[in-house]
């Protein structure tokens, strides 16, 4: 638990540091191009832990609180500006230049996402074809005629090479009345099915989009060979070892892993005799099935995991492309992440997506830790996703965000005069209240998920 916390915290700080640096560098770089004097470039808030004065006069700072950053530009509205530097003040720049400086932060977030995905596709990332393993009876998928063994090759107009793509496209249809899904069956015949999803929604805390429509992805069957034994578990106390094959329970032959799991789950606290084959010898081990609290009551558990059968040929493949093809794939995926983020914000506003789906820093930290644990390519994918979301959120027309500033500058450009200080002040107050409310909901959701 301590290791997981430290891993998540470390990965979160690294990820946030990278993304904040990228975002603020966009503001800084374009500000310098526009001739604006930048007083400070800070990663983090609070007490400086490291600082360095640049040759152009900018102070570069890494501060103690790693929850954001800022670029402090010379501005006559808040600084006493010497006459010789007035032309370098932010407020003296044309509307077009000020808009470019503000838009550069989110813009560079999108560019960074494409670069991260480009690197990911060059290195290669392993993934699985979206082949259906099972369909729940009377489910949305069953009513549409989807069947086990079908490969989902397209949802709507978007090609779906793997389960991640399928999940993204399913989510994009929340709030719609129907959804077209193109599948290819085991005989290679392609058919389009229409899923009727009027009123369909799902709780992301308890189920995936796939399972909510009745789809279980194909995975190789579990064997009875033990791959993992948990420390302090019932199986460990009984003497079960990695590599053992479970052959009988209370003297009766175990048919498959699912039947073993079903018995154990239904009999918490029961004393059983577990027969295992170890290096050609059979051993009878005495075990007391453990207890685990669940929302429905108590389940039994042994604390073992099985080896699985091998994947069928062709089911697992690697997304890896050459120098030029990877570029196109990266741009396409970045664009899809951007449009999907905008769609989800719209569905939050209309109520098609519940605010319970909002995630805050705790969930982001968990995602950062998990992706980093899987390896560099998965961490790059995570960085791209969060970078796109950071860019989109910052473009929302809320005062205090880049989008709010762009809204004011657009009004100034259209009317020929700046928005009054009084209106801006009220806007910032309202924006701060809305942001505080959204963040409070997101953090509350994070805490609820932990409990």
Instruction: Check residue 97 and give its pLDDT.
Output: 96
Is 309 an active-site residue? no
53 forms bridges with which residues in the sheet? 59
Q: Which of 4, 24, 151, 421 is catalytic?
A: 24
Instruction: Check residue 292 and give its pLDDT.
Output: 81
Instruction: Check residue 374 and give its pLDDT.
Output: 65
Domains along the chain with CATH numbers: 222-308 (2.30.42.10)
Q: Residues 145-169: pLDDT tens digits? A: 999 999 999 999 999 999 989 988 9
Instruction: Check residue 215 and give its pLDDT.
Output: 93
Q: Residues 338-360: pLDDT tens digits? A: 998 898 888 887 777 766 666 55
Instruction: Check residue 223 and give its pLDDT.
Output: 93
Does the model's pTM come out above 0.95? no
Residues of the chain scoring pLDDT < 50: none
Instruction: Check residue 52 and give its pLDDT.
Output: 93
């Amino acid at each position: 638990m301590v290791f997981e916390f430290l891993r998540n915290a470390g990965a979160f700080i690294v990820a946030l540091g990278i993304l904040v640096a990228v975002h603020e560098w966009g503001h800084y770089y374009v500000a310098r191009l526009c001739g604006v004097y930048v007083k400070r470039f800070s990663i983090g808030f609070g007490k400086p832990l490291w600082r360095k004065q640049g040759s152009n006069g900018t102070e570069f700072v890494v501060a103690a609180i790693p929850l954001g950053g800022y670029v402090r530009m010379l501005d006559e509205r808040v600084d006493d500006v010497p006459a010789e530097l007035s032309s370098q003040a932010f407020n003296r720049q044309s509307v077009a230049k000020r808009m470019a400086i503000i838009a550069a932060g989110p813009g560079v977030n999108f560019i960074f996402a494409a670069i991260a995905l480009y690197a990911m596709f060059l290195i290669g990332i392993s993934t699985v074809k979206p082949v259906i393993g099972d369909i729940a009876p009377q489910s949305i998928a069953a009513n549409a005629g989807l069947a086990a063994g079908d490969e989902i090759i397209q949802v709507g107009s978007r090609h779906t090479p793997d389960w991640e793509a399928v999940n993204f496209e399913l989510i994009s249809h929340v709030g719609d009345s129907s959804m077209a899904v193109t599948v290819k069956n085991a005989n290679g015949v392609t058919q389009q099915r229409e899923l009727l999803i009027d009123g369909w929604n799902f709780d992301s805390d308890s189920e995936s989009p796939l399972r909510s429509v009745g789809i279980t992805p194909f995975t190789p069957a579990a064997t009875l060979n033990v791959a993992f034994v948990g420390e302090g578990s019932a199986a460990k106390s009984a003497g079960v070892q990695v590599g053992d094959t479970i052959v009988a329970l209370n003297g009766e032959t175990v048919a498959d892993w699912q039947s073993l799991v079903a018995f154990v789950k239904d009999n918490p606290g029961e004393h059983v005799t577990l027969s295992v084959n170890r290096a050609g010898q059979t051993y009878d081990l005495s075990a007391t099935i453990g207890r685990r609290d669940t929302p429905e009551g108590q389940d039994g558990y042994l604390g073992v995991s099985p080896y699985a059968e091998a994947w069928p040929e062709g089911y697992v493949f690697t997304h890896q492309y050459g120098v030029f093809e990877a570029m196109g794939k990266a741009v396409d995926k970045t664009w899809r992440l951007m449009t999907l983020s905008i769609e989800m914000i719209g569905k939050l506003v209309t109520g098609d997506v519940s605010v319970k789906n909002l995630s805050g820093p705790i969930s982001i930290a968990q995602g950062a830790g998990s992706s980093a644990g899987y390896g560099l390519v998965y961490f790059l994918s995570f960085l791209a996703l969060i970078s796109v979301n950071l860019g989109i959120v910052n473009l929302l027309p809320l005062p205090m965000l880049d989008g709010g500033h762009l809204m004011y500058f657009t009004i100034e450009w259209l009317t020929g005069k700046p928005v009054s200080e009084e209106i801006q002040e009220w806007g910032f107050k309202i924006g701060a209240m809305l942001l505080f409310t959204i963040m409070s909901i997101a953090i509350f959701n994070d805490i609820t998920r932990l409990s």
